[in-house]
Structure 1
Amino acid sequence: MENERRTARWGAAGLEWFSLPLLVLVWYLLAVVVDHRLFPTPVTVVRELWELALHRSLIADVGKTLARAAIAFVTAMGLGIVLGALLGRLRSVDRLFGSWIIIGLNIPAIVVAITCYIWLGLTEFALILAVVVNKTPLVTVTMREGVRALDQGYGELAQVYRVPFWRRMRLFVLPQLMPYVLTAARTGLSLIWKIVLVFEVLGSDGGVGFRIGIFFQNFDIAGILSYTVAFMTVVIFLEYAVMRRLEAKVLGWRPAFQSR
């Protein structure tokens, strides 16, 4: 039985490792079939990526975008967790501000960005604020549902045995909330990258989105794809090196995760 599980895990890992090479192969075959300068091959893009890294500001642009995304991510997660906890615990507060959350979830990101830029100018603070405003409602809703789903039986048990507050939080509350925190973090990362890039195109003094906007004006598709590959490499590294390891450590006790 154990051998079968080990074989299944190795088979699943093999499929994951094969996924990206398969994507590159499909890209290469499509580029060969299309055979047009606006559809470069992976080789052309990698060569352009190398030249940009050596002679231009690719590393600086990626670093600037990552810094903006990191600040916005941490701020939005912190605010969303606090607001979600309040809305989940206090029904009156949820009724009062529930419509605000709905508006925040559905207001177009481009409207928030343009408004912040008009009010605050094309500044770093305006860009990060716009991203936070767009991301916080999603985290709030996720955490609100997590707080509502807490098993009250554990709370009663802790109260009967007079478990201290912080110990109760660590042993009973946080383990139940962590799946919701990780879900909010993963969806938040996937959205924040995109939002930051779009806002950088609208107005910034550097970053991946800013540079892609310049490449777009020059119809430089190789440059656009080069920056895209560089940025997605960082995102994939964060997914496998950080998020999945954190998920395995925090949720490793769950059978659903172990059979993944």
Structure 2
Amino acid sequence: MSEAKPGGLGPYALQGRVAVISGGSSGIGAAAARRLAEQGATIAVGYNTGRDRAEALAAELPGSGHIALHLPMGDSAAIRAAAAEVETRLGRADILVNSAGTTRAVPHADLDALDDETFDRILLTNVRGPYATIRAFVPLLRRGGDAVIINISSLAGINGLGSSIAYCASKAALDTMGLSLARVLGPEIRVIGVSPAAVDTGFVPGRSREAVLKQAAALPLPVVCQPDDVALAVVAAVTHLRLSTGTTLLVDGGRHL
């Protein structure tokens, strides 16, 4: 049995690091791209259909060398090609933020409304896609010996309350997958989940901003969560939680209480 290494790692500096962000062209992913770039990271802004948004964001980020990267969650071959592109163009990958996701608002009691196609699409995008992305990028992440994977999850994976039963199930699966991966990817790679409650974006079709405001007003910390609040948690997990892995951070204003 090898001797444990001494502590005192200190903050994880982002200068010279490369961060790959799936779903990076909008919402939480875009906010994380901005915050990580501010700290000195070079960003690969992953997108599925939002190429124009990704290219515009990459062009406006502070620093240089940022790229837009086609990273569709439903196509494992394209994900492998994206990893190869990052290696060719940027030479390394140190941070992977799995922010891509999808859902559809379906009342939990209406079991028939949650059809097979919708269920499969949600699980493919929210679970298999992140797994395929991790699988493709692990060789690059391991190469640096000190990498981080951040999975953007949701409080819905813990309390079973969310836009649909399938969405709740997908985020619970993402959290459990993070536990498994943290065991096998250490010590070279940390795996941390970041779980917000309702965020002030248009992510959930049909959910009004008024509904988000109403939910926030009833919380112990009655503040509407913005994408940037989640992005700040991502940065904190990457840069300061050096001895954390296989855990999930709640960014929910105390809604779990």
Relative to the length of structure 2, the TM-score reads 0.26
Relative to the length of structure 1, the TM-score reads 0.26
Per residue, is there more strand in 1 or in 2? 2
Higher-Rg structure is 1
Per residue, is there more helix in 1 or in 2? 1
Report 1 or 2 for greater relative contact order, CA contacts < 8 Å, sequence distance ≥ 6.
Answer: 1
